[in-house]
Amino acid sequence: MRTVIIYNSLLGTTKRYAMWLREALEADLSKANAGHRSALDYDMIIVCSPTYIGQIRLLGYLKKKWSVLQGKTIIVIAVGMAPPESPDSRKSYENIPPEIRNRIRYFKLPGKIGPAGKAKVRQENLQPVLEYIRSIRG
């Protein structure tokens, strides 16, 4: 499956995950809205986005590109400080329109603010994502 990782990152955490994923999957990597790669060329698109003030930052990108993305295998990875099961995380997930939510596989991974949180951002956090991808790639 031709795979691309589309990411956005303000403080570098999401970029870190995106680069680890690229290494593990030998996928292409592109910053969202950078314009040099088209989702059309890929079968699997992994959208990696930080969460700020309750919003998955690339939600706008997902909505804008949905007509191109739908029908492809879409994985959304939201990075943030709020634990996956917290009401805040639930809310930001539920901000994804249901017609998109029902067609994606979603993961929330630990983010950080400042050097103190560094230990939370580990390559192993990607394990469930990689297991899922391997299960569908065969």
Please tell me the distance from the alpha carbon of residue 9 to that of residue 132, in angstroms, as a whole number.
23
Residue nearest ligand FMN, Cβ-based: 80
Lay out the site mask for ligand FMN across 74-93 (x = CB under 6 A, - = otherwise).
Answer: -----xxxx-----xx----
- Count Cα neighbours of 8 within 13 Å in the Cβ-side half-sphere: 18
Q: Which stretch binds ligand FMN (CB under 6 A): 12-20, 23-31, 35-43, 122-130?
A: 12-20
Instruction: Determine, following the binding rule CB under 6 A, whether residue 19 of this chain makes contact with ligand FMN.
Output: no
φ/ψ (deg, to 5) at 100: -85, -45
Q: How far is the CB of 100 from ligand FMN (least distance, A)?
A: 19
Nearest to 32 by CA among 51, 16, 52, 9: 9
Residue with smaller CB distance to ligand FMN, 53 or 116? 53
Cβ(74)–Cβ(67) below 8 Å = no
φ/ψ (deg, to 5) at 3: -125, 135
Binding residue for ligand FMN, selected from 4, 5, 14, 20, defined by CB under 6 A: 14
Instruction: Determine, following the binding rule CB under 6 A, whether residue 11 of this chain makes contact with ligand FMN.
Output: yes
Instruction: Determine, following the binding rule CB under 6 A, whether residue 31 of this chain makes contact with ligand FMN.
Output: no
Residues 32-61 within binding reach of ligand FMN (CB under 6 A): 50-54
CA angle, residues 98, 82, 115, in degrees to nearest 5: 135
Q: Which positions lie near ligand FMN, rule CB under 6 A?
A: 9-14, 50-54, 79-82, 88-89, 111-113
